Amino acid sequence: MQIDISSLETLLQQADKLVLVGHFNPDGDALGSVTAAYHYLKGRGKHPRIILPSPYPDNMAFLEPEDPRDRMMICENELDDTRRAVAEADAIICLDLNRLARTEYLEDDILAAPGKKVLIDHHIPAELDRFDVAISTTGVSSTCELLFWILMALPDVAGDPQRISARCAESLYVGMMTDTNNFSNSVLPGTFEMASKLIARGVDKNGLQEKVLSCYSVSRTRLMGHMIKDKMKVLPAYKTAYMLLSNKEKARYNFKPGDSEGFVNLPLAISSVQVSALFTENFDSKYIRVSLRSKGQIDVNRFATQFFNGGGHHNAAGGRLYMPLEAVPAYFEQSLATWAKEEKFL
Ligand code: 5GP
Ligand code: MN
């Protein structure tokens, strides 16, 4: 991959204090990319801090920087401090998001901040003009893969994976592994190349797989069974299946953040199902979280943008609905009927 690296390198040479910002509800790719960037910049003698809008799942805690002074800052716990860090930074690097609104709390702060703005992302580009340097392509599996190739292209690394630290390599692998659902979605030749280089660099593939993907409780596994057996509604006419996860069920199954990770993919194992949706109630009940997945040519990014106040990728997208959970089935089935006709996938 050809990446024009010189403007990023110039900007990095001039910046000392940097903030690395991920998206709301950070997933493995957001966490992997902010922590990998942190380790790289720390190794260059810079002063980076990580900012996340909301907390991350427990199984990702091993990605925390070891220096307690550099722990990841969470807007929901310390909004004033995160705002100050943004205002005081020489550069603000946004990773794994294509709209500043995905930072939930920091859009205006980032726009008003004097620091240079950098974007490193693999979603369909949306706000490139808001950044001084934007490296954005959908031609990679994940933001972590893109960041890997950026690091390889930077003069101090010069294509040699040995020159990135073990922790940086581990973070990059975690983001790629989770965003590809362990090498099943959006995997391109470059993804295997990256994985191969990182494993040769010493990344413990099996150890990370166990830590990140085999980390769940008995109650989460039972909740998954309940969702498939009792909650999955299949609409054969639309080649679609969907599930609703309520607060009551979350409480009954001792739900922890991250526990519904992967649920939306399960119905796609059915040969006739081309589209899968998961609607999750929030404990604060402000909105319903929407997760959408599709197979092949069917574009759920468009579906998410048009009907669910969101966006994402061609085969994996998400958004929000501002209505009670009980109202979701009617809204979803109606939207599906309109969209399926436009999308012509029936
Ligand atoms: P998930 O279903 O795993 O939460 O999200 C799948 C993908 O959809 C994410 O990688 C992200 O790109 C996108 N996504 C999820 N929620 C939102 C949202 O609220 N807004 C936008 N623009 N994209 C979202
Ligand atoms: Mn991603």
The per-residue pLDDT for range 9-19, each reduced to its tens digit, is 999 999 999 99
Going from the C-alpha of 253 to that of each of 281, 307, 326, the distances in angstroms are 14, 30, 20
Q: Are 25 and 111 in the same domain?
A: yes
Reply yes or no on whether the pLDDT at 2 is more than 80.
no
Ligand 2 is an ion; residues with CB less than 5 A from it = 29, 96, 142-143, 179
Residues 132-143 pLDDT 10s = 999 999 999 999
What average pLDDT does range 301-313 have in this prediction?
A: 96
Residue 1 falls inside a structural domain? no
What pLDDT, in 10s, does the model give residues 140-156?
A: 999 999 999 999 999 99
pTM of this structure: 0.95
Does residue 336 surpass a pLDDT of 90? yes
Residue among 29, 54, 95, 123 to mutate when testing ligand 1 (max atoms within 8 A of CB) = 123
Same structural domain for residues 209 and 306?
Answer: no
pLDDT at 192 over 80: yes
289 lines ligand 1 (CB under 6 A): no
- Between CA 116 and CA 131 the distance in angstroms is 8
Give mean pLDDT, residues 228-253. 97
Q: Residue 242: what pLDDT? A: 98
Q: What secondary structure does DSSP assign to 43-56, as a single string? A: HTT-EEEEEESSPP
Q: DSSP string covering 170-216, please? A: HHHHHHHHHHTTTTTSS--HHHHHHHHHHHHHT--HHHHHHHHHS--
pLDDT score at 284: 78
Task: Calculate mean pLDDT across residues 269-274.
Answer: 97
Ligand 1 and 317: CB distance under 6 A? yes
Domain containing residue 339: 218-343
Rounded to the nearest integer, the mean pLDDT of the chain is 96
CA 195 to chain centre: 19
The reply to whether 70 and 197 lie within a common domain is: yes
Residue 284 alpha carbon to ligand 1 centre in Å: 19
Ligand nearest to the CA of 104: 1
pLDDT band per the 50, 70, 90 thresholds, residue 286: confident
Q: For position 268, which CATH number holds?
A: 3.10.310.30
Residue 45 forms part of a structural domain: yes
pLDDT of residue 344: 78
204 with 292, same domain: the answer is no
Region 306-325 average pLDDT: 96
Q: Is 175 in the pocket of ligand 1 (CB under 6 A)?
A: no
